[in-house]
């Protein structure tokens, strides 16, 4: 992997524990970091974001090598590993911090994201309308250290990981086995 040519995408699919664990498994992904983006509070804490007043979404900063995996491929995974039709909710997780969001850094990325969204809307993947926000990227704040690599560190000791995160990651691995590291 050529670290000099790395790019990044900021993706919000609800709980960042799931998103981070999924994107880290893809060939061409250098890192996946849990954090917050899209709000108006500088350096928010998890408690502040969960308090629903910061405007931030739980997101993952996916750093990748565009020679090995494209933004389009990352978006294909994005649309399929969460439900982009439920506003401010993913499963039992409810609140504005769980809204489906993609941040773009320039007009070219915005066009790629909008095209990808239109293709998903035209497909039969989701019956309900897509509610994913597409927003200009401003700043990403990494989450506290205890959120990073959460599934790997906590795993079976947390019921949420056992019943929500692990099944989601296993389904992803089955559906995208040709794209795994």
Q: What is the pLDDT of residues 108-154, one digit of tens each?
A: 999 999 999 999 999 999 999 999 999 999 999 999 999 999 999 99
Is the pLDDT higher at 3 or at 50?
A: 50
* Residue 22, CA distances (Å) to 50, 68, 108 in order: 22, 17, 25
**Does the predicted TM-score (pTM) go above 0.85?**
yes
- Single out the residue of 85, 84, 130, 135 nearest to residue 110, CA to CA: 135
Indicate if the pLDDT at residue 50 is higher than 90: yes
Residues 39-64, mean pLDDT to the nearest whole number? 97
Indicate if the pLDDT at residue 1 is higher than 90: no
Domains of the chain (ranges, CATH numbers) = 3-175 (3.30.1060.10)
Residues with catalytic function: 15
Residues 151-172, mean pLDDT to the nearest whole number? 90
Q: How large is the angle between the packed helices 166-175 and 16-23, nearest 10 degrees?
A: 30
Indicate if the pLDDT at residue 2 is higher than 70: no
Q: Where is 56: in which H helix or E strand?
A: none
């Amino acid at each position: 992997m050529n670290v000099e040519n790395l790019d990044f995408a900021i993706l919000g699919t609800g709980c960042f524990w799931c998103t981070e664990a999924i994107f880290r498994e893809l060939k061409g992904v250098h890192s996946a970091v849990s954090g917050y983006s899209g709000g108006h509070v500088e350096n928010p804490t998890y408690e502040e974001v969960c308090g629903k007043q910061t405007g931030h979404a739980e997101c993952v900063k996916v750093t990748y090598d565009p020679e090995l995996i494209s933004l389009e491929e990352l978006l294909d995974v994005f649309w399929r590993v969460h439900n982009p039709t439920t506003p401010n909710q993913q499963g039992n997780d409810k609140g504005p911090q769980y809204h489906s969001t993609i941040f773009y850094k320039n007009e070219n990325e915005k066009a790629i994201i909008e095209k990808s969204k239109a293709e998903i809307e035209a497909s039969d993947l989701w019956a309900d309308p897509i509610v994913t926000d597409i927003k200009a990227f401003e700043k990403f704040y990494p989450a506290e250290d205890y959120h990073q690599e959460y599934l790997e560190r906590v795993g079976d000791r947390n019921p949420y990981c056992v019943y929500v995160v692990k099944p989601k990651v296993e389904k992803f691995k089955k559906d995208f086995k040709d794209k795994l590291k």
